[in-house]
Structure 1
Amino acid sequence: MSDAIADAKRALRAELRERRQLLSEPAREAAEAGIHAQLDALVDEHGARSISCFLSTMAEPGTRSFVTDAVGRGVRVLLPVTRVDGLLDWAVATPEGDIAEGMYGLPEPVGELLGPIAVNDVDLLVIPAAAVDRNGMRLGWGRGFFDKTLGSMERCPPVYAVVYDSEVLDDLPSDVHDQPVTGIVTPTRTITLAPTRR
């Protein structure tokens, strides 16, 4: 990655992180309710019986109530667990939903770990992002877990990144290893983009 691209990404991440920190509690709660409704509709639209999703941090658009309800409805939900080698293991979400602090302070499920290839069997991937542009380019938080995962999948199902409405941007700095997404989920809408995946 060129220094100019890396610097642009770093600056943008810092700005987005700061904006997220300033959100009020009522704004966070409203965003989580909106994300929940959008993701429910997305799962129904795709007829998804098995999905991957992430457990949101305090600063991210909330996904936890959606995960709990999806599990209650019989949807198989795989949750990511970070590994030292930069790949992701997966654990099946359970009704108890035990959560511990994983690497980088991220919330992660407690339970039996499935290897990185477990995600190859899902119908839909729901992943975190700092921002997404209108071409489907996703800006992550710089650790590359999801870019590695998407880049290694033989048959990638639809991939939707979850962001706040203000984080859907016209254009983002990107490099060769960055993986595009199929669509964007915000608290107020779901945007399905023109296919750009391989």
Structure 2
Amino acid sequence: MSKNELRNNVIAKRNTLSTQEIEQKSQAIIKKLFTLPEYQNANTIMAYIDFRNEVQTSGIIKDALTNGKKIAVPVTDIKNKKLTPSLLHDFPGDLAPGAWGILEPRPECVRPVDPEQIDLVLIPGVAFDNVGNRLGYGGGFYDRFLLRTRKDVILLALAFELQIQPNVYHEKHDIPIQLLVTEERIMDFR
């Protein structure tokens, strides 16, 4: 199977999940995330906005805002293949559909954050293996962004168990994650 076939295969499997299954599994994942000291101790978090049956992140964003954490979400610059983290003050009020229809801060709500200020990055992905490698959507946006973060930043992915695969075709430029939280387990690759 090629990298693209794996990507399409896992996305197709994820798309078979019902809205109720996604909500239930996402709640279980978020509950586990909230127990982690890496989440509890993070002052500034970058989170993705879930899209197309990804693990839902709205509960995390609301929790962070309620508990005085700074929460940033990516603004995508497709032309330059670049992500810029932007602080959220009002969720979902600050957001509108952006690149690929994914919600991101409206132009007047963009509040750039220095990537070096981020303590924890919640990274989306299509598939993950048992050693922390990640298969993204193919644009390399996160791999490029992560090069701009601190060496001690925590890289954490949220995924459904069906996204764990034996091989995700890891390449030299792919940056692995340190923690993976699914509805069934927490995997620590450090």
Which of 21, 30, 48 is matched with 2:15 structurally?
A: 21
* Alignment-derived partner of residue 94 in structure 1: 89
Query: Is 1:189 aligned to residue 171 of structure 2?
Result: no
Shift of 1:46: 5.3
Amino acid at match of 1:158: I
Report sequence identity in percent: 26
> Structure 1's 96 and 181: CA in aligned 2 closer, same or farther, altered over 3 A?
closer
CA distance in 2, matches of 1:95, 1:129: 25
* Alignment-derived partner of residue 169 in structure 2: 173
Amino acid at match of 1:16: V
Amino acid at match of 1:86: K
CA distance in 1, matches of 2:150, 2:89: 27
Query: Is 1:71 aligned to residue 65 of structure 2?
Result: yes
Residues 68-77 or 147-156, more deviating: 147-156
> Structure 1's 78 and 114: CA in aligned 2 closer, same or farther, altered over 3 A?
same
CA distance in 2, matches of 1:29, 1:104: 22
Q: Is the 8 A contact 1:100 1:107 kept in 2?
A: yes
Regions of 4+ moved over 4 Å: 43-46
Which of 159, 171, 174 is matched with 2:155 structurally?
A: 159
Q: Is the 8 A contact 1:120 1:156 kept in 2?
A: no
* Alignment-derived partner of residue 113 in structure 1: 111
CA distance in 2, matches of 1:96, 1:168: 30
> Structure 1's 47 and 63: CA in aligned 2 closer, same or farther, altered over 3 A?
same
Q: Is the 8 A contact 1:97 1:109 kept in 2?
A: no
Shift of 1:9: 1.2
* Alignment-derived partner of residue 142 in structure 2: 146
CA distance in 2, matches of 1:184, 1:96: 25
- Deviations along 1:81-110, one digit per CA (max 9) or x if unpaired, are 101201111211223422211112212133
CA distance in 1, matches of 2:2, 2:152: 28
Residues 38-47 or 147-156, more deviating: 38-47
- Deviations along 1:22-69, one digit per CA (max 9) or x if unpaired, are 111210110221122122122566511111111111410111111112
CA distance in 1, matches of 2:18, 2:180: 23
Amino acid at match of 1:143: G
Unaligned runs of 5+ residues in structure 2 are none
Residues 61-70 or 93-102, more deviating: 93-102
* Alignment-derived partner of residue 11 in structure 1: 5
Pairwise CA RMSD: 1.8
> Structure 1's 32 and 122: CA in aligned 2 closer, same or farther, altered over 3 A?
same
Shift of 1:170: 2.5
TM-score, length of structure 2 as denominator length? 0.89
Amino acid at match of 1:49: N
Q: Is the 8 A contact 1:160 1:183 kept in 2?
A: yes
Shift of 1:156: 4.3
